[in-house]
């Protein structure tokens, strides 16, 4: 450690010698003296370089004398300088996650936005990087708490705040305990950081105010049963409007209602009323089921009978009209040739009747004394 002091002094001496050489060669360098209003301060470049070289040489001499006079304390000063340099390098780089951006402030003033990746900034607090998760979906819970939450504004701070947030009065002057969740994203990190003080806490107040307004416009039955989706949609629209008005840099994605219950003292009575309503709905549904089962069947049978009657009526009418037309046609032919028509009708009738008979007996009309006989084959077929 003690060998570092002469080395640093030699480096400073070499720096002064190099500066003097540059000045002798006529390299222009700025002067620390003002121009006193007499022309361009860079006009006498050589004289200014000589003055600056002299100042650096004087500074190096003073530093060498200080280190030499410090004795054993010289290495400590060099160690402190090295630690200062290491600290500067340590605070100069930072990493931005893939779902975030970094907002850079230089001496507290906004400078720029930095995308994800490894980046560098001015060290030792000159520039400060604030990581903002713009692609991550955040949420706030009202009335309940999720274990392990990192965001202090995600859940109620205590049981008293949880009860206060959920206790609401409906439009029909009934009380209800409403639990809900707001999911949002940071749309503009600059507005989120600099436009509103504590934007997450402000969002909790906005969400509670809007939810009380929306619930107060509806009855307790609508809040608990049929009006949940309408409440979520209306609350989302109003929360986003207020967030835009307050320039919070937040985009609200979803508002979701969770458990909605009556207060504790009336919980039992409310459950009995709900049970009675459910029993009523059950009986109504059963009656409708029986109605839909019997009435449509009866109406179907009625329509079937009516159609069958109409079909039978049309059949009889068509048959009668056909018989009339056939009789009229036969009458016309009979008037033209009575004998031929009678014979043809006789033969046609026999053609229809004879095939239906099982046995046929042909007898001569002039025969006499016919011997009757017993049909044994017919009786055998009748015996068991």
Specify the pTM: 0.54
> In 3D, which of 104, 135, 98, 133 has the Cα closest to residue 116?
98
Three-state DSSP at 248 gives coil
Task: Round to whole Å and give the CA distance between 2 and 364.
Answer: 165
For the stretch 182-222, pLDDT in tens is 999 999 999 999 999 999 999 999 999 999 999 999 998 88
> Is the Cα torsion angle 9, 15, 17, 20 positive or negative in sign?
negative
pLDDT digits (tens, 9 = 90+) for 351-373: 888 888 877 777 777 777 666 66
Decide if pLDDT at 116 tops 90. yes
Question: Can you tell me whether residue 218 is helix, strand or coil?
Answer: coil
| C-alpha torsion angle, residues 105, 111, 116, 117 (rounded to 10) | -80
**195 φ/ψ angles, rounded to the nearest 5 degrees:** -85, -40
pLDDT of residue 153: 86
Residue 113 in this model has a pLDDT that exceeds 80: yes
User: Are 134 and 120 in contact, with CB atoms under 8 Å apart?
Assistant: no
pLDDT of 6 higher than 70: no
Tokens of 289: 């089921």
* Architecture in CATH for domain 155-261: 2-Layer Sandwich (3.30)
Q: What is the pLDDT of residue 353?
A: 85
* Mean per-residue pLDDT, 333-344: 87
Q: Beta strands 167-169 and 175-186: pairing type?
A: antiparallel
What's the pLDDT score for residue 174? 87
pLDDT at 235 over 90: yes
More confident residue, 124 or 258: 258
Q: Is 245 helix (H, G, I), strand (E, B) or coil?
A: helix
Domain residue ranges in the chain: 4-89, 91-132, 155-261
Closest CA to 180 of 226, 233, 130, 219: 233
Mean pLDDT of the chain: 80
Beta carbons within 10 angstroms of residue 249's beta carbon: 22
Cβ neighbours around 49 below 10 Å, total: 22
Distances (CA, A) of 379 to 153, 358, 371: 109, 15, 19
pLDDT at 126 over 60: yes
Q: Are 49 and 23 in contact (CB under 8 A)?
A: yes
What pLDDT does 309 receive? 95
Q: Which residues, other chains included, contact 371 with Cβ-Cβ below 8 Å and sequence gap of 6+?
A: none
Rounded Cα gap, residues 198 and 206, in angstroms: 12
CB 179 within 8 A of CB 258: yes
Q: Enter the tokens of residue 49.
A: 């370089």
Q: Residue 106: what pLDDT?
A: 93
The stretches of the chain forming alpha helices (DSSP H) are 4-24, 45-70, 74-90, 159-166, 189-194, 199-216, 220-221, 228-245, 267-336, 338-353, 376-382
The token duo for 164 is 């206060």
Task: State how far the Cα of 299 lies from the Cα of 90, in Å rounded to an integer.
Answer: 89
Decide if pLDDT at 24 tops 50: no
Whether the predicted pLDDT of 312 surpasses 50: yes
In this prediction, residue 241 carries a pLDDT of 95
Residue among 190, 200, 332 at smallest CA distance from 249: 190
Most confident of 85-89, 266-270, 331-335: 331-335
pLDDT at 58: 72
Name the least confident of 62-71, 154-163, 266-275, 332-341.
62-71
CA distance 63 to 59: 6
Tell me the C-alpha to C-alpha distance, in Å, between residue 82 and each of 13, 163, 246, 283: 19, 56, 48, 87
CA distances for 308 relative to 296, 303, 313, 319, angstroms: 18, 9, 9, 16
Separation of alpha carbons 318 and 323, rounded Å:
9
Digit-coded pLDDT (tens) for 177-189: 999 999 999 999 9
Nearest in space to 65 (alpha carbons), one of 13, 2, 4, 17:
13
Q: In the predicted model, what is the mean pLDDT of residues 308-329?
A: 93
Residue 3 pLDDT exceeds 80? no
């Amino acid at each position: 450690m003690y060998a570092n002091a002469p080395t640093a002094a030699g480096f400073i001496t070499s720096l002064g010698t190099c500066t003097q050489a540059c000045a002798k060669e006529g390299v222009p360098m700025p002067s620390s003296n003002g121009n006193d209003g007499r022309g361009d301060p860079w006009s006498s470049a050589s004289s200014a370089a000589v003055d600056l070289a002299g100042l650096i040489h004087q500074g190096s001499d003073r530093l060498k004398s200080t280190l030499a006079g410090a004795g054993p304390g010289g290495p400590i000063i060099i160690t402190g300088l090295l630690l200062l340099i290491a600290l500067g390098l340590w605070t100069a780089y930072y990493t931005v996650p893939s779902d975030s951006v970094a907002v850079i402030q230089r001496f507290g003033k906004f400078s720029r936005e930095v995308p994800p990746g490894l980046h560098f900034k001015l060290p030792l607090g000159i520039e400060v990087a604030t990581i903002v998760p713009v692609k991550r979906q955040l949420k706030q819970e009202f009335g309940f708490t999720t274990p392990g939450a990192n965001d202090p504004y995600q859940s109620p701070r205590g049981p008293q705040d949880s009860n206060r947030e959920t206790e609401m009065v409906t439009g029909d002057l009934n009380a209800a305990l409403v639990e809900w969740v707001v999911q949002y994203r940071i749309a503009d990190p600059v507005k989120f950081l600099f436009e509103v003080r504590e934007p997450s806490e402000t969002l909790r107040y906005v969400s509670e105010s809007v939810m009380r307004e929306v619930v107060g416009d509806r009855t307790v039955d609508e809040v608990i049963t049929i009006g949940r989706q309408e409440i979520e949609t209306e609350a989302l629209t109003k929360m986003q409007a207020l967030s835009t008005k307050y320039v919070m840099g937040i985009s609200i994605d979803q508002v979701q209602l969770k458990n909605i219950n009556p207060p504790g003292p009336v919980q039992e009575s409310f459950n009995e009323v709900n049970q009675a309503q459910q029993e009523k709905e059950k009986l109504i549904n059963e009656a409708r089921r029986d109605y839909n089962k019997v009435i449509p069947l009866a109406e179907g049978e009625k329509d079937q009978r009516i159609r069958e009657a109409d079909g039978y009526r049309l059949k009889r009418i068509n048959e009668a009209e056909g018989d009339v037309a056939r009789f009229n046609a036969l009458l016309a032919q009979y008037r033209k040739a009575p004998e031929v028509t009678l014979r043809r009708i006789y033969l046609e009738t026999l053609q229809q009747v004879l095939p239906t008979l099982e046995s046929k007996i042909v007898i001569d009309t002039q025969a006499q004394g016919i011997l009757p006989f017993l049909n044994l084959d017919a009786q055998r077929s009748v015996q068991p």
